[in-house]
């Protein structure tokens, strides 16, 4: 049988689609036609056709009868990316079939297994959980449930070290979760981390030579010394999960690793099922993910694709060294490190944009040597890059909005049609400045993604109300609503409400008689005690308190009436929280009169098509 080359496949697909041929570059061709029995690493920049090349590699493998599509395992990070890759491969396999290049016995329903790293690990864990004495069908805790459980652990902890910790409850819960996840993501030994904490604990006591110079270092040493306590809390959190038969996302990967180490047959089964493995966005895999993949697939034909300059999960145990370590870990059959390929043609950017991007990337990471410098595709555009150096973000936003206005107007005059543009932001927190500036400059926009939606005032109100219904600590959210258009309660009355909250906090723990003096004292001093008391509880109290109650004295008459009305509204809503979420949302929106506000506000763009898209992208150039 003569080999079906990557170029031949490109021609066949173009013919089926009735389009001009998009030949692979020589670099792409080398990856697509690489030895099907050997591992490979592809280091490639943004928009250099990584996904395209992976999809074409599957076609080449199938067309040349190296394997059937179902024998390919493809892993990537997000469900969206997995869906896109699966769809690209599925469509192309169908085109390959139409072009007559698929093997005769090709089954159109036979598709590769494309999934996310997490869900793959979850399946491996579930299938092999028994070997670890765990329940494979246990609950998987989402973000919110994990937080709630960790919070319970911290609040219930009687550890005396918590008293000395000068931290808010939220910070301790967050740190406990981070340590628990850090241990899981790195498959770290908790004892070693505790030992680091112990080593640092004594340092601040050493004589410092009488200068204040080390103050910030001492502060840091104290933080590190807290590791012991946090590791202990993290262990209690793990124990709490175990008792409930629950796991969180990070656990699934480390448990999958432990399970396959304990059960070599699991490795054999997966190797027999998947003859070729494609790993996308490899730069973002965590230490434990790479350990799991190596345990399962080292020595088999694994192709990893990655770009160290697009790494976004550094905080989670991912490191660019994952890419460097791939080749020695996934060796060829002759014992040599996996072959390294590069892709260096950018298919997305014009020449001058690329020049600017290459300069910036080279300057900021110092890792340019590892990633090939991207070159523009033949016929790439020559649009220039403008730069400005404003002093404040407000000035920057105004300049950007003016620039956009001008370009959009020019384009409309030139083409006779409205044009569209994309605005990418560095950080979500600057988004409101840019939206204001665009409104001011008359540039219609549509914010993409949930982040943008959350910035819309009505949605922020809706989310705030849901928090208030669920969480007695959602004081800020409640204040936002009380001060907002629905109840318009003034500062003096809000301040009085805060007073009531404080009074209630002191009163409750003193009057309840349930807690011992010692425990009350400890709660006050510890992280769990919140001196301010709960504003949410205070509003409930104001709603319930009898006319003339001492605690109601400081409110204005009008303020009190509105607060009581608000309390009734939240009471009513609280009694309906058992509803399905969409119904509850409609109800809350109606009670807050947000539906009227949206209808009355002309500038709201939600659901309407407008010309400028605004998003905070996390990857790519």
Ligand X SMILES: Nc1ncnc2c1ncn2[C@@H]1O[C@H](COP(=O)(O)OP(=O)(O)OP(=O)(O)O)[C@@H](O)[C@H]1O
Q: Which is nearer to ligand X, 47 or 452 (CB)?
A: 47
Contact of 385 with 350, CB cutoff 8 Å: no
Q: Which is nearer to ligand X, 371 or 538 (CB)?
A: 371
Q: Which is nearer to ligand X, 58 or 254 (CB)?
A: 58
Is 50 an interacting residue with respect to ligand X (CB under 6 A)? yes
Kindly determine how many residues on this chain lie close enough to bind ligand X according to the rule CB under 6 A. Answer: 15
For 19, phi and psi rounded to 5 degrees?
Answer: -115, 170
Is 51 an interacting residue with respect to ligand X (CB under 6 A)? yes
Which among 405, 400, 376, 401 has a CA at the least distance from the CA of 389?
A: 400
Structure-token pair, residue 32: 């697509």
CA distance 143 to 485: 32
CB 7 → ligand X: shortest distance, Å?
10
CA distance 132 to 145: 24
The beta strands (E) that lie in 392-517 are given as 421-424, 445-447
Task: Identify the bridge partners of residue 337 per DSSP, sorted by sequence position.
Answer: 331
CB-facing half-sphere around the CA of 529: CA atoms within 13 A: 20
Is 390 an interacting residue with respect to ligand X (CB under 6 A)? no
Is 123 exposed, middle or buried, given 0-12, 13-18 or 19+ CB atoms closer than 10 A?
middle
Is 290 an interacting residue with respect to ligand X (CB under 6 A)? no
CB 1 → ligand X: shortest distance, Å?
26
Q: Which of helix, strand or coil describes residue 344?
A: coil
CB-facing half-sphere around the CA of 153: CA atoms within 13 A: 28
Q: Which is nearer to ligand X, 51 or 157 (CB)?
A: 51
By CB under 6 A, the residues from 337 to 366 that bind ligand X are: 347-348
Among 29, 48, 226, 286, binds ligand X (CB under 6 A): 48
Is 74 an interacting residue with respect to ligand X (CB under 6 A)? no
Q: Which is nearer to ligand X, 10 or 260 (CB)?
A: 10
Q: Which is nearer to ligand X, 158 or 618 (CB)?
A: 618
Alpha helices in 26-137, H assignment, sequence order: 26-32, 50-63, 79-98, 117-128
Q: Looking at 46-54, 242-250, 530-538, 594-602, which segment touches ligand X (CB under 6 A)? A: 46-54
Q: Looking at 42-50, 360-368, 404-412, 445-453, which segment touches ligand X (CB under 6 A)? A: 42-50
Provide the mask over 295-324, with x wherever binding to ligand X is found by CB under 6 A and - wherever it is not. Answer: ------------------------------
Q: Which of helix, strand or coil describes residue 370?
A: coil
HEC string of 516-577 equals: CHHHHHHHHHCCCCCCCCCHHHHHHHHHHCCCCCHHHCCCCHHHHHHHHHHHHHHHHHHCCC
Structure-token pair, residue 620: 């790519």
Q: Looking at 45-53, 90-98, 416-424, 480-488, which segment touches ligand X (CB under 6 A)? A: 45-53
Q: Which is nearer to ligand X, 25 or 290 (CB)?
A: 25
Is 136 an interacting residue with respect to ligand X (CB under 6 A)? no
Which is it for strands 72-76 and 345-346: parallel, antiparallel or unpaired? unpaired
CB 101 → ligand X: shortest distance, Å?
18
Q: Which is nearer to ligand X, 284 or 530 (CB)?
A: 284
Q: Which is nearer to ligand X, 306 or 452 (CB)?
A: 306
Among 6, 29, 47, 136, binds ligand X (CB under 6 A): 47
CB 165 → ligand X: shortest distance, Å?
43
CB 77 → ligand X: shortest distance, Å?
11
Among 40, 46, 227, 592, binds ligand X (CB under 6 A): 46
By CB under 6 A, the residues from 16 to 35 that bind ligand X are: 22, 24-25, 28
Which is it for strands 113-116 and 339-343: parallel, antiparallel or unpaired? unpaired
Quickly tell me which residue has 């020019």 as its tokens.
410
CB 177 → ligand X: shortest distance, Å?
30
CB 306 → ligand X: shortest distance, Å?
10
CA distance 480 to 464: 8
Q: Looking at 48-56, 175-183, 219-227, 584-592, which segment touches ligand X (CB under 6 A)? A: 48-56
Of the chain, the end-to-end C-alpha distance in Å amounts to: 43
CB 10 → ligand X: shortest distance, Å?
8
Quickly tell me which residue has 């898209």 as its tokens.
613
Instruction: Write out the binding residues for ATP.
Output: 44-51
Contact of 441 with 401, CB cutoff 8 Å: yes
CA distance 200 to 190: 16
Q: Which is nearer to ligand X, 33 or 291 (CB)?
A: 33
CB 45 → ligand X: shortest distance, Å?
7
CB 50 → ligand X: shortest distance, Å?
3
Instruction: Write out the binding residues.
Output: 44-51
Contact of 571 with 541, CB cutoff 8 Å: no
Residues lying near ligand X in the complex (CB under 6 A): 22, 24-25, 28, 44, 46-52, 347-348, 620
């Amino acid at each position: 049988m003569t080999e079906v080359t990557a170029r031949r496949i490109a021609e066949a697909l173009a013919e089926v689609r009735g389009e001009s041929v998009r030949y692979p570059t020589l670099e792409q061709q080398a990856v697509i036609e690489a030895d099907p029995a050997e591992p490979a690493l592809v280091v490639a920049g943004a928009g250099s056709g990584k996904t395209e090349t992976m999809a074409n590699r599957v076609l080449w493998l199938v067309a040349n009868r190296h394997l059937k599509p179902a024998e390919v395992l493809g892993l990537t990070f997000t469900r969206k990316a997995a869906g896109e890759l699966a769809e690209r491969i599925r469509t192309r396999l169908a085109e390959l079939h139409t072009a007559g290049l698929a093997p005769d016995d090709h089954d159109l329903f036979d598709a590769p297994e494309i999934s996310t790293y997490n869900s793959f690990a979850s399946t491996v864990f579930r299938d092999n959980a028994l070997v670890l004495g765990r329940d494979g069908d246990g609950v998987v805790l989402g973000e919110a449930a994990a937080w709630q459980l960790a919070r319970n652990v911290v609040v219930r902890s009687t550890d005396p070290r918590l008293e000395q910790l000068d931290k808010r409850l939220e910070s301790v819960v967050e740190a406990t979760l981070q340590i628990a996840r850090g241990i899981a993501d790195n498959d770290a030994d908790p004892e070693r981390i505790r030992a680091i904490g112990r080593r640092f604990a004594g340092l601040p006591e050493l004589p410092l030579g009488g200068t204040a110079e080390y103050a910030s270092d001492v502060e840091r040493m104290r933080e590190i010394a807290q590791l012991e306590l946090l590791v202990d809390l993290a262990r209690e959190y793990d124990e709490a999960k175990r008792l409930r038969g629950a796991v969180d996302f990070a656990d699934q990967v480390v448990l999958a690793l432990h399970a396959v180490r304990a059960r070599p047959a699991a490795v054999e089964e997966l190797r027999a099922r998947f003859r070729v493995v494609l790993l996308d966005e490899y730069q973002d895999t965590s230490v434990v993910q790479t350990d799991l993949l190596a345990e399962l697939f080292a020595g088999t034909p694994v192709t990893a694709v990655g770009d160290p300059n697009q790494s976004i999960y550094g905080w989670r145990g991912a490191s660019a060294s994952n890419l460097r370590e791939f080749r020695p870990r996934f060796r060829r059959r002759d014992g040599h490190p996996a072959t390294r390929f590069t892709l260096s043609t950018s298919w997305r950017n014009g020449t001058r944009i690329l020049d600017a991007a290459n300069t910036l990337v080279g300057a900021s990471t110092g890792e340019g040597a590892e990633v090939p410098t991207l070159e523009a595709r033949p016929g790439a555009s020559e649009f220039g890059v403008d730069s400005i150096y404003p002093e404040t973000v407000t000035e920057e936003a105004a300049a950007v909005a003016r620039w956009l206005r001008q370009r959009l107007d020019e384009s409309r005059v030139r083409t006779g049609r409205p044009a569209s543009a994309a605005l990418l932001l560095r950080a979500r927190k600057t988004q409101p400045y840019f939206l204001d500036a665009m409104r001011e400059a008359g540039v219609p926009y549509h914010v993409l993604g949930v982040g943008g939606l959350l910035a819309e005032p009505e949605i922020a109100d809706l989310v705030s109300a849901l928090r208030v219904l669920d969480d007695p600590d959602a004081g800020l959210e409640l204040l936002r609503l009380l001060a907002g258009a629905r109840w318009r309660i003034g500062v003096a009355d809000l301040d009085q409400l805060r007073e009531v909250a404080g009074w209630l906090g002191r009163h409750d723990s003193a009057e309840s008689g349930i807690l011992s003096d010692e425990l009350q004292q400890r709660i006050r001093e510890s992280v769990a005690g919140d001196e301010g008391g709960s504003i949410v509880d205070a509003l409930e109290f104001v709603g319930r308190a009898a006319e003339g109650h001492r605690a109601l004295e400081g409110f204005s008459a009008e303020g009190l009436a509105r607060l009581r009305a608000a309390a009734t509204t939240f009471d009513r809503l609280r009694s309906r929280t058992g509803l399905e979420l969409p119904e509850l949302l409609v109800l809350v929106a109606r009670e807050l009169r947000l539906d009227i506000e949206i209808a009355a506000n002309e500038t709201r763009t939600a659901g309407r098509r407008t010309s400028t898209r605004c998003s905070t992208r996390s990857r790519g150039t």
